[in-house]
Every structure is written in structure tokens, then in C-alpha cells.
């Protein structure tokens, strides 16, 4: 069974940093692109970032480019999102998903909540 479990969310002040993790199991992690998607409270889905199989090709939404960094450790079956210079508008539930780039995102985690507030 495919499982994606996000962690690392929490309350952070504007300008602060957080690192999200997504632990993957039930599939061969190194053979799939991975993606982060967020959802602000009461709003729709917003793509944040995607990474290819090897981690050497990354893509970002304009809203996070230069502040967020996606990475992966295929030896640990884990996806990361380093978030710096956080703003109030980054407040959202952050989902990790399998796929992206040239495929749909077939499996999603349950999300981790990031709240940026003073």
C-alpha cells in the first residue's frame, strides 16, 4: 500500500524557516517524481514544487521561487521542502504527492499544516 506521511509543520513567525518532510513507503521511491501542493484555509489547490527521480531537476511556483527548496533522499525514501523567508500567505496545509512533471499525482499524503503568524 502506498503511504505518504508528511511532518514538520507548525507555527512560525514571518521571516522564519521550516523544513517539511514526507516519508514514503509501499513503492519504489526512486522511480517517481514527487511534488508538493498546498491549500490555504478554505481555498483551492496550489502547486508548489516538483522534483525529478534523481533530484537534479527541480521546479517551483513563482510564489515560492527563491525562498523554497525541494530535495529528496532516495536512500531514505524521503522528500523534503525547505521553506525560508516565510510569509503570512504561505499559511496552508502542505501535501506531498507521488508524481507530477509528466504524470498526474496519483497518491497524496494527509498533509501537514504550516501557519505563519506573529
Partner 1 sequence: EIVLTQSPGTLSLSPGERATLSCRASQNVFANTYLAWYQQRPGQAPRLLIYDASSRATGIPDRFSGSGSGTDFTLTISRLEPEDFAVYYCQQYGDSSPLTFGGGTRVEIK
9 binds partner 1 (CB under 8 A): no
29: buried, middle or exposed (CB in 10 Å: 19+, 13-18, 0-12)? buried
Distance CA 115, CA 118 (A): 10
Q: Which three cell numbers stand for residue 49?
A: 514544487
Nearer to partner 1, 16 or 46 (CB): 46
CB of 109 to partner 1, least distance (A): 7
- 27 belongs to the binding site for partner 1 (CB under 8 A): no
- Cell 497524496 sits on residue: 108
Among 50, 81, 94, 112, binds partner 1 (CB under 8 A): 50
**Selection from 35, 39, 18 nearest residue 91 by Cα:** 39
Task: Tell which one of 80, 111, 112, 114 touches partner 1 (CB under 8 A).
Answer: 111
Q: Which stretch binds partner 1 (CB under 8 A): 9-17, 22-30, 79-87, 107-115?
A: 107-115
Q: Given the DSSP bridges, would you call strands 68-73 and 58-60 parallel, antiparallel or unpaired?
A: unpaired
The reply to whether 110 sits near partner 1 by the rule CB under 8 A is yes
The site for partner 1 (CB under 8 A) is made up of 35, 37, 44-47, 50, 59, 61, 95, 99-111
Amino acid at each position: 500500500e502506498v503511504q505518504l506521511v508528511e511532518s514538520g509543520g507548525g507555527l512560525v513567525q514571518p521571516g522564519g524557516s521550516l523544513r517539511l518532510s514526507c516519508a514514503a513507503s509501499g513503492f519504489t521511491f526512486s522511480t517517481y517524481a514527487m511534488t508538493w501542493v498546498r491549500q490555504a484555509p478554505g481555498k483551492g489547490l496550489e502547486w508548489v514544487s516538483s522534483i525529478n527521480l534523481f533530484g537534479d531537476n527541480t521546479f517551483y511556483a513563482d510564489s515560492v521561487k527563491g525562498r523554497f527548496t525541494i530535495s529528496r533522499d532516495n536512500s531514505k525514501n524521503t522528500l523534503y521542502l525547505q521553506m525560508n523567508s516565510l510569509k503570512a500567505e504561505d499559511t496552508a496545509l502542505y501535501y506531498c504527492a507521488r508524481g507530477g512533471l509528466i504524470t498526474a499525482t496519483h497518491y497524496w499524503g494527509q498533509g501537514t499544516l504550516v501557519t505563519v503568524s506573529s
